Chain A
Amino acid sequence: MRGRVDYPRLPWLGLALLAGLGVVATRVVLLSARPPSSARAASWEPSTEVLPQRGSFWDRRGRLIATASYDRYEVILEKDKLPDPASFLAAAAPYLGARADFARLQLDNPAVQWVTLFTYAMPADAEAVKALAPDGAIVVRPLPSRHYALGEAAGHLTGFVDADGHGEYGLEAQYQEILTGALGHTPGPFGTDPRAYVPPRDGADLVLTIDRDIQMATWRILADHIGKQDATGGTVIVLEPSTGDILASVSYPGYDPNNFGAADVNRYIDPAIGAYYPPGSVLKPISLAAAIDGGVLSPDSTYDDTGTVFVHGVTIPNQDYVAHGPSTMWQMLQLSLNVGAVHVADTLGSTAFYRGLDAFGLGHATGIDEAGEAPGSIVQPGADGWVASNFAYNAFGQGMDVTPMQMAAAIATLANDGRRMTPRLVRQVRPDGADPQDLPPRTAGQIVSAATARTLRTMMESVVESTAKAAELSRYTSGGKTGTSELPDSDGDGEKDLIASFCGFFPVSQPRAVILVKLDRPTGELGSRVAAPIFAEVAEVVADALGVRADKAGANQ
């Protein structure tokens, strides 16, 4: 038998052991069960970013407009594998350009082992430089980039993505956050701890309102006419009045977003939303709609057209310098009589006139979902710079600055029975791993009554039937208004710089499309002569693409 021995420290030892076991067990449970907090995951180093893929653009019929690609390259040179750096640099200098000096400094620096020749090279440059070095001396790594299927034809709309992954201009800038997605993280190059792994969320795809066929055809038609007219530029907008959907928006000259670095930076801004112009006589249906809707005039109201009118200190002549005598509003619109337009504005009064322009959205940003929209400029009575003669000039669309998009949206209001829709370019967002989200059309309210809008459409149809026959369509009724506006002499040749424009719609009873055409400084001056034919050509394309039913008597279906 053995005697009892007391070990007073033994319980403490047991407790310590149990505590240790508890710590181990807790750690095991935590490892297996508890998700890492984002703060802890973020604080763990080293961390490696997992790049999400940028969302794509699809047209309204599911065809690709822009998508992620990997055809830009980082080009890195390993110095030790280059036997003759001097001759290599001499041969590569044409491709390296301004980077050649930097590369020379790096090659001369003994502390540098790897020299980055390009951070964002075009495929041709990367291949050419790689061919100049011995095998294995140059590493070419593909980088995320962007491919734009329509190139120059839609460059203004899409914008582009720079080397840092930031969207610039157009839709790329407007929807930067949605398109980019969210970065993922791994704890290191070998991914040793999955708790620190945060999966990337790819950017959402955007379904545009653009129709690729219409966009391409419109681009080709515009470029063709600009060449024929020797114009300096132009814009065509095709808009669906019932929704505000932009079916096509083309401006010339453009730039190719696939090679945006080669373009003049002044071309990056979309002239359809960012360039001002005086709308000229295209404004006349707007002021007339305000007058008819306000009850101060009717289509059959008459005035005495004297050929010129002296008002607010300035003399306003008709564009044909002819006195037409007693004339109705129909004639005022058909013959685009400036004296009649002044009569309309005077009858309305300046307050109602400018309120009407405001209501139609002129002089204000339309709210289109494209980066870089300019608000326009219409000086109101009482504002700085206001003089009484402004009112006289504004009556027929001179002395004010609007964007083509504003003008198209204003005429679309008449085509949509008086309800103004906010133009839009995106109709659906498709997030990564989630259900698509339809973006509903946005309305800016009922501007004039449906009856007034229908009356104006009929009057504009009469314009096409009388003085703008070039805008007539073979199978569809069409309406519209020509405009020829003057710009200040920009090149100093002493000759007026003109803008010819036409804004119309078809079919008249229930318009499916509003088309605005603007040509800058064409050789043929009148809008009816140079812009209306473009309207007709584009309208035929739109009708085919949308499957519009013919509404003209005798037309073949």
Chain B
Amino acid sequence: MNEDRAAVRPTERLTEGLTEGLSARLSERPTGRLAIAASALRAPRRLAARADASPYLDRRPPVAALAPTILVAVVVFTMAGLLWVRQANSVADTGREIARALDARDALLMRRAAARVALAEATDPLRLAERAHALGFAEIDEDDVEVVTVVTNGDATVGDPLASPGRRSPLELVVPPAAIAVPEVEPSLSTIPLSLWQALEDGP
């Protein structure tokens, strides 16, 4: 094991003597021109402090050891990214849905408003009155109203209608019970006179 490690650490071996020798001499900290020249020969501090940080090192084994971690990180990051994309897509879709729904809302509001206006105009009292007039209806005074009483029970006085007590009009119709024809059987289509059929067919 130690041999293997030594095999992969040539730089340490190569610099071992130099660094140790220089360190011993420099620890004395001489001054003057010679000391300055010696300091120039001293190995770089970074190299001295971290002898293993050489550009000649083979890094593959440590990277391989970290590979699972990196892989997991990449997978997690990718999944998070996909989630992000999916979420952003969903957000955009929802936004477009809202825009479409707003357009539909506007259209519906306009249709509802138009329908309400049409309803209000159709039920406008003045318009209804005009229609009623056009159909032949007309406002009447109370004096124009004639109350016609049709008496169908046996208590009615048969005879001169004007002789009857109470407020009755000359048009009052008094029908004695015997005069009311009660059909014995329910009429069928065949019992309806032909003239009625013709009237129905010729009608509007």
Contact = CB atoms under 8 A, between A and B. Distances in A.
Given A27-B84, A68-B109, A193-B95, A50 B102 contact: yes
B120 A67 contact: yes
B125 to A, nearest CB: 4
B4 interface: yes
Contact of B110 (A24, A142, A474): A142
B91 A5 contact: no
A441 interface: no
Contacts of B92: 192-193
B114 interface: yes
Interface string A1-14: 11111110010001
Given A2-B8, A194-B98, A14 B69 contact: yes
B177 interface: no
A126 B1 CA distance: 96
Bin the interface of chain B by size. 35 or more
Contacts of A69: 113-114, 116-117
A397 B8 CA distance: 122
Nearest to A50: B102
A56 B102 contact: no
Interface string B108-138: 0110011011011101111000000000000
Nearest to A25: B80
Contacts, number: 116
A216 interface: yes
B116 A64 contact: yes
A3 B91 contact: no
B109 A53 contact: yes
A3 B58 CA distance: 10
Contacts of A190: 95-96, 99
Interface string B69-95: 100010011001101100110011011
A69 B115 CA distance: 10
Contacts of B110: 70, 142
A3 B8 contact: yes
A186 B99 contact: yes
Interface in A19-66: 20-21, 24-25, 27-28, 31-32, 50, 53, 56, 63-64
A79 interface: no
Given A3-B8, A142-B110, A24 B102 contact: no
B9 interface: yes
Contact of B57 (A5, A50, A197): A5
A28 B82 CA distance: 10
B165 to A, nearest CB: 16
B5 interface: yes
25 contacts: A1-B1, A3-B4, A5-B57, A21-B73, A21-B76, A24-B80, A28-B80, A31-B87, A31-B88, A67-B116, A68-B109, A69-B114, A69-B116, A70-B114, A147-B116, A147-B120, A149-B120, A187-B95, A191-B99, A192-B95, A193-B91, A194-B91, A194-B95, A194-B97, A194-B98
**Which 4 pairs between the two chains have the least Cβ-Cβ distance?**
A191-B99, A2-B61, A149-B120, A3-B5
Given A67-B117, A69-B116, A193-B91, 17 more contacts: A4-B5, A5-B61, A5-B62, A10-B66, A14-B73, A20-B77, A31-B84, A31-B91, A63-B123, A64-B120, A67-B120, A69-B117, A71-B117, A147-B117, A191-B97, A193-B95, A194-B95
